[in-house]
Every structure is written in C-alpha cells, then in structure tokens.
Amino acid sequence: MDSSSSSSDQESLRPGDHVHPDRALIVGDGAFAMAMATAMARRGSDVRILSHTATVRDEINAGENKTTSLPGYKVHGNIKAYTSIEDACAPDVQIVLLVIPTQFLRRFLVTNLAKLPVGCPIVACAKGFEVGTAETPYEMMVGELPGKYHRHFAVLAGPSFAKEIMDGQPTNVVVASESREVATLVARYVSDGSTLRAYVSDDVVGIEVSGAVKNVLAIASGALDGLGFGNNARAALVCRGLAELTRLAVAAGSNGRAMAGLAGVGDLMLTCSSSLSRNFTVGSKMAGGMTLEEIQGGTNAVAEGVATAKSVRVLAGRLGVEMPICDAVYRALYEGLSPRVALAELQARPLGAEGGLVAGE
C-alpha cells in the first residue's frame, strides 16, 4: 500500500466503488489534460476541455490531437473543446481539473475567480512553484479563489506519463486534500477499476513539494545521461535527490509520509529514468552542449523544472535547507555552470554520514 495513504483511506476505496462523473471540466489542452480527459471519457463521462486557442479547440473538435503533444491519437467522442469558460462550465459539472502550467495558473484564477462551478472538487494537476512567490498551485488556489471554493480543493500527482495513460497502461496516482471526503471523491472519479488507480493522502504540502522538486532533479538525471554515465550515478542521484526533496518538504510543513509514496519516490523514479520526461530531455540536451535558450526555442512543451529551479533555490534559502543537487541545476541553467563541472563539484563535497532522508548530509 502507498505509504502516503492511511489504511482507513484505502478501506474506503473498494474496487466496486469507482464512479464516473456525468460531466467534467478540464482546464488545459496539453498532453496530460488530454490523457485525463480520455481516461474519463472512456468511462462514459461528458468531458469539456477549456482550450487556450481556437486552433487547438477546432482540432480537438475535429477529432485530432495535432498540437496537444499527442499526435496520432484520436480524440474520444465524449470530449468537446471550448475557448469560453462560460460555454465550457455547465451548471452540472461535477469535477474541475486544472491542467495548466504552474506559471500561468494564478493569471487564470484571477481572471476566472467568479466563473468556476461551486460545490464540486477543483483539482490542481500542475507541478511546481510559482516564480517570485515560491507558492504551490494549492496555495495559489487558496490565495486567489473566494472562500466558498476552499473546502473543495485537491491536488493530483504521481508517476503518470500522458502517453501511457492514452495507451491504457497501468497507472497509479495520488490525490491529496485537507478534506478526506474531497480526496476520496476525486479518487473515485478518476479511478477506473482497471488501468488508472488513485490513492488518497492528507499530505498536501508533501505531495506538492515532491511534484515540484522532482522536476528539477530530472534535469540533473538527464544531464547524467547526456554525459554518458550509467546506473550507479542515476541511483545515487535519485537517493540523494530524495533526501533533498524530503528535507525541503518537512521544513515546509509536510508530515513526511508523501515522499515515500507515488508523488515522491514514485514520480522521481519515473522522471529521472525516461526521455519521455521533458525535464530529463532538457538536462540531456544541456549536457550535449545546447544552451537553455536553444532548447526552449525548439519546443512548445513546458519543462516545469526550468522555472521551478529558481523557486526551489529561494524556498530552500528561506527555510535554511541544504539542497546541493538542486542548487547545481540552478547554476547550470542560469549561471553557465557546465554539467560536468557541476557533477565534479558535487562528488568533491566533504564526506558525511548518510543519516536518513531528513537529516542526511
């Protein structure tokens, strides 16, 4: 059982309890948005996509995933796209998934704070910290949306590449909320009893810090791959990166359980070991000699770890947490530090006791 969830939580999620919402609203039209829309549509839900452009809206409504990072996949017949939130947000929407990059979330919330449906779960699916404030998506929702929404907030995270969800491959995620009732309802809505399974957690802070920091660590892992290093180096990175992630999460208020679960070690293992990860790809290309500007200029996909590296550095400094790997990634991205030199510096640090995930040096 996922250690980020209590036994009583899991007892409430029996196999026969999966229910699909009659109507769901998904804000965003990227790969993960379309994957979650497809997973829910396959179960019979009427899924409405709030798209950011008329071009993408029309392509989705024509049945094609041309510009959503999932070329070659047909759009399910239960999915329809809109560009107006008034049109997309029907009165009987039962769940809202916010699947837009962290750096654009606050603007969406401020613009639409009076337009979202009231009384249904609002689930943040983005991973990262906002540049400038170092706030998480959950914190931004609390800060920007009126109080009538607050008890319905949740976050969704875990190892979940969009392509594999589209292919119907087994995928487990975790839903966290300050309300067990809301977390359980969201888990039931997104689980299908066969390929997609959701656990529940009350560690919102741990889930969000894990989801943010793992993207920065994935850049480091991609750099190791680009430099030609093998499994020993990657295993060390995952382990020591998990220690950094855990120290930051606990300092930020996590109860410490999430990091051993799907959003922590699970998502860290996934993003640090696959070229399907946009962040991994950034690191690999940097190690190959490309600049950050060249990498970002060649793709429309958002690698959240690039911006998150700035906020991790700010938050770690604010909380007095040592994060040498994440700091090295920041310096490689923004100060011109060579990935090979960064690795050499990390390996040359003073020796110390491992000491466990929270206290380790």
Angle value at C-alpha 55, between 51 and 61, nearest 5 degrees? 70
Marked catalytic residue, from 127, 214, 285, 310: 214
pLDDT digits (tens, 9 = 90+) for 21-31: 899 999 999 99
Buried b (16+ CB within 10 A) or exposed e, 197-229: bbbbbbbbbbbbbbbbbbbbbbbbbbbbbbbeb
Region 318-346: mean pLDDT is: 97
pLDDT of residue 302: 72
Among 32-46, 62-76, 220-234, the minimum mean pLDDT is found in: 62-76
Q: Per DSSP, which regions of the chain are E strands?
A: 23-27, 46-50, 79-82, 95-98, 122-124, 153-157, 171-176, 196-201
For the chain, what is the total number of helices (H) and then of strands (E)?
A: 18, 8
332 and 324 in contact (C-beta within 8 Å)? no
pLDDT of residue 91: 77
Q: What is the mean pLDDT of the chain?
A: 91
pLDDT of residue 5: 46
Q: Catalytic site residue 214?
A: yes
Share of the chain above pLDDT 70, in %: 92
pLDDT digits (tens, 9 = 90+) for 152-205: 999 999 999 999 999 999 999 999 999 999 999 999 999 998 999 999 999 999
pLDDT bucket at 360, cuts 50 / 70 / 90:
very low
Assess whether pLDDT exceeds 90 at residue 132. Answer: yes
Q: Please give the residue that has the higher pLDDT: either 180 or 1.
A: 180
pLDDT of residue 2: 40
Residue partners of 237: CB distance under 8 A and separation at least 6: 217, 220, 221, 224, 272, 325
Pairing outcome for strands 171-176 and 196-201: parallel
pLDDT digits (tens, 9 = 90+) for 88-126: 997 789 999 999 999 999 999 999 988 999 999 999 999
